Structure 1
Amino acid sequence: MAHVTASVEYGMHCLLWLIDKGETPLSCRDLADLQGLSPTFLAKIFAKLEKAGIVRATEGVRGGYVLAQKPEDISVLAVVDAIEGRKPLFDCQEIRGRCAVFGNSPPGWAMAGTCSVHAVMLRAEKAMRESLAAQSLADVATVVYRKAPPEFSTELQEWIDHRVNGRGRRSGVASTAS
């Protein structure tokens, strides 16, 4: 979990729009347009989310993505790990043994146990992972919809319905999840 990039933010926002859609899939193009993103960029994120079992792709003219699990079963940590990979927060370089006073051979006490700086970072990473694991996609959605005015849900659903229904009237070429 080195640096958490904007990919996680984009992925989380797009996952929020899949909640309560049931089996109505949204394509990467729809989700990208909804968020003002590049469909190609978003397709890379959704490939990772699909591999992790967070979303499921459907094919066909009206194909796209649906949640593969209930929102309350998808932790924020699962999304972060799916998109970023499980990288450590801190990569200890063991510089504690390079002190000029030690010459070329650091004493045993200097190298014993976990590096003190690394230990602090390990505790911080553990706390961060626990906090992210304790929050679900449903928890985040609750906060979003609590802040939004009541008409937002209706407007969002109308936008999605327009996009999904419009896909069947395209040139007749079958599209996939992207």
Structure 2
Amino acid sequence: MSGGVEWGLHCCVVLCGAGEPVPAAKLAKLHDVSPSYLAKQLQLLSKAGLVRSTQGQSGGYRLTRDAAEITMLDVVEAIDGPQPAFRCTEVRRRGPMAVPPERCATPCPIARVMDSADRAWRESLRVVTIADLAAEVDTTTPRELLDRARAWLSA
């Protein structure tokens, strides 16, 4: 999984609590990340329809729908794509002990386990929303820090 997923999730959580659009430069500064790097992640989120940008003096990014309707999996797939983390290359059909294709009637046991793990991982991300993450941030972060962050974002 790319680092962009982490930045994308953090941005979505911030946008969830922001009353106004937040400029990309401000999100980058808040997270101490390169503005050009973060812009790429925001573009991917925008292309997936999770955020949208508005231009102008009060422009910036905002979520396209309620945070309770955006899952962690939505963000992961927007940034890294929907392909599975593991791709079987049929190693068992290679080398001096290669198994002929016609004898490979069932999926490779390694591929089968990795596919099962990928499905479980995706399902666990599918049930956690940006709203869930934001609620946890609210309960685990000192109130004065949250208040300062919100004031800084809206300044």
Give SS of 1:100's match: coil
Where does the alignment leave 5 or more consecutive residues of structure 2 unmatched? none
Q: What does residue 100 of structure 2 align with?
A: 106
5 Å matches for 1:71-90?
71-90=67-86
Alignment of 1:34 with 2:30, yes or no, is yes
Give SS of 1:16's match: helix
Alignment of 1:143 with 2:136, yes or no, is yes
Letter of the 2:118 counterpart: E
Alignment of 1:46 with 2:42, yes or no, is yes
Q: Which of 111, 122, 125 is residue 115 of structure 2 equivalent to? A: 122
Deviating above 6 A after TM superposition, structure 1's stretches of 4 or more consecutive aligned residues are none
Pair 1:93–1:64, CA change in 2 (3 A): same
Alignment of 1:12 with 2:17, yes or no, is no
Paired positions, count: 155
In 2, the alpha carbon distance for the partners of 1:91 and 1:20 equals: 37
Q: What does residue 61 of structure 1 align with?
A: 57
Alignment of 1:160 with 2:153, yes or no, is yes
Q: Give 1 or 2 for the bigger CA radius of gyration.
A: 1
In 1, the alpha carbon distance for the partners of 2:101 and 2:107 equals: 15
Letter of the 2:36 counterpart: T
In 2, the alpha carbon distance for the partners of 1:8 and 1:41 equals: 12
Percent of matched pairs sharing the same residue: 39
Q: Is the 8 A contact 2:18 2:153 kept in 1?
A: no
Instruction: Report the RMSD for the aligned CA atoms in angstroms.
Output: 1.5
Give SS of 1:158's match: helix
In 2, the alpha carbon distance for the partners of 1:99 and 1:5 equals: 32
Letter of the 1:132 counterpart: L
Give SS of 1:87's match: coil
Q: CA deviation at 1:107?
A: 6.8
Pair 1:38–1:112, CA change in 2 (3 A): same
